[in-house]
Amino acid sequence: MSHMEIEVKFFLEDKAAVRQRILALGAVSQGERFETNIRFEDREKSLIRRNVLLRLRKDSQATLTLKIPPEVADTEFKVYREIETQVTDFENTKQILAGLGFLPEQVYEKWRETFTAGPVVLCLDTLPYGDFLEIEANKENIRQWAEKLGLAWENRLVTNYLGMFARMREKYGLAFTDVTFENFEGVVVAPEDFFKAE
């Protein structure tokens, strides 16, 4: 499946309260899953330089995703062309990618609860360094849902989770590159330093 993915994220100080508001507004929970994501790179590391993401995700199934930025960047929303397909074998897909010259570069984990409200998809994400809400829809619906949930538009985030981690890693001098719950044990960060809109 290929489509234009349009989304924004918000850092949450009270995830439980936002979850209650989402449900009160009629969105339906599709359940919570633990995700392991692997970002792949070629040997020249050209994907990250081109802002392209090649990702293999494992939750209750396995999904291979390619995200390509638009020719003209959008500063208000995170916009990518997303090509995604389910794969039946996670490990064999890793081997296929390696055979094509794409090697695992970075792992990141999260818990994700997904909600749907018509064409709108809302994801409550818990990462090793904080809680977030991701709203994916058309631009008008994203703005409407942010307003209905009482989220300040100026606090939206249009970077991805690995971009946030890169800033955090630089500021705190973190030695690890994988965003896992194990790596973050004992690590204290100040989320407000990273997650306010610039």
Residues 133, 114: contact at Cβ < 8 Å? no
Give the C-alpha distances (Å, rounded to integers) separating 9 from 62, 87, 99, 162, 179: 24, 27, 34, 13, 18
User: Helices marked H in the chain — which ranges?
Assistant: 15-24, 46-49, 90-99, 139-148, 161-172
Sign of the dihedral through C-alpha 56, 58, 60, 61: positive
- The answer to whether 52 and 69 have CB atoms below 8 angstroms apart is yes
Model's pTM, two decimal places? 0.93
pLDDT number for residue 197: 43
Q: Which of 105, 110, 90 is nearest to 15 (CA)?
A: 110
Q: How far apart are CA 135 and CA 129, in angstroms?
A: 19
- What local confidence, expressed as pLDDT, does residue 100 receive? 98
> For position 193, what pLDDT does the model report?
64
Is residue 86 classed as helix, strand or coil in its secondary structure? strand
Q: Give one DSSP letter per residue of 149-193, joined into a string.
A: TT--GGG-B-S-HHHHHHHHHHHHT----SB-TTTTTT----GGG
Tens-digit pLDDT profile for the chain (198 aa)? 668 999 999 999 999 999 999 999 999 999 999 999 999 999 999 999 999 999 999 999 999 999 999 988 888 999 999 999 999 999 999 999 999 999 999 999 999 999 999 999 999 999 999 999 999 999 999 999 999 999 999 999 999 999 999 989 998 999 999 999 999 999 988 876 665 444
CA 11 – CA 134 distance, rounded (Å) = 9
Q: Which domains does the chain have, with CATH numbers?
A: 2-193 (2.40.320.10)
